[in-house]
Amino acid sequence: MMQTTPSNLTHHFLIAMPHMADPHFDHSLIYLCEHSTEGAMGLIINQPSDLNLSDLLDQLAPDITTGIDVAVLNGGPVEPERGFVLHGGERKWESSVDLGPLTLTTSRDILCDMAKGAGPDNVLITLGYAGWGAGQLEQELADNVWLSCPADHGILFTLPCDERLAAAARSLGVDWSLLTSQAGHA
């Protein structure tokens, strides 16, 4: 049976195969925010950085303190100094883009509101993103560099970072621990 890849993978997960050569994406789970004929943009959602919300606020708004300890993730190798907040809820902040089931915000006002306890309930903060040019992701999928599956909000917002990759693979019926980076020859 031949498996086909949907033509639009917006709101899907990309699961890096064990033979992924790029160290930025080794053992990565990516949430695709956008995928079109012009390219794709996503956020790595399982690679925590050494930073948290308090660290970001110390740099962006030192007058605001928070007791909330929200981890900041390494979202990808493109623009690693730029912050992205992926969140649920209908409220929008200064620089918010409606992704349909979720919203992506890049303005610091959401971080300030989060520090005050007025932010969204479901939230991921990343620095940087992953990007693909026209046709690049499609070629990588054809080369079996990635598995894809529909995104699951429970995996995104409920599971700890270190459990997300295996959970996404399980949603496809794949036991991540059994995959290998070695190719066999008959």
pLDDT in the model for residue 104? 96
Residues 94/106, Cβ–Cβ less than 8 Å: no
What domains lie within the chain, and their CATH numbers? 12-177 (3.40.1740.10)
Residues of the chain with pLDDT under 70: 1-6, 62, 66-67, 180-186
pLDDT in the model for residue 62? 67
pLDDT in the model for residue 83? 94
Percent of all residues in the chain with a pLDDT value above 70, rounded to a whole number: 91
User: What residue type is assigned to position 167 of the chain?
Assistant: A
For strands 12-16 and 78-87, give the pairing: unpaired
Structure tokens at 160: 């700890």
pLDDT tens across 52-63, in order?
Answer: 888 888 877 767
Transcribe 80-102 into DSSP letters. Answer: EEEEEEEE-SS---TTEEE-SSS
pTM of the model: 0.90
Q: Which residues contact 16 (CB under 8 A, 6 or more apart)?
A: 25, 26, 27, 28, 29, 30, 145, 146
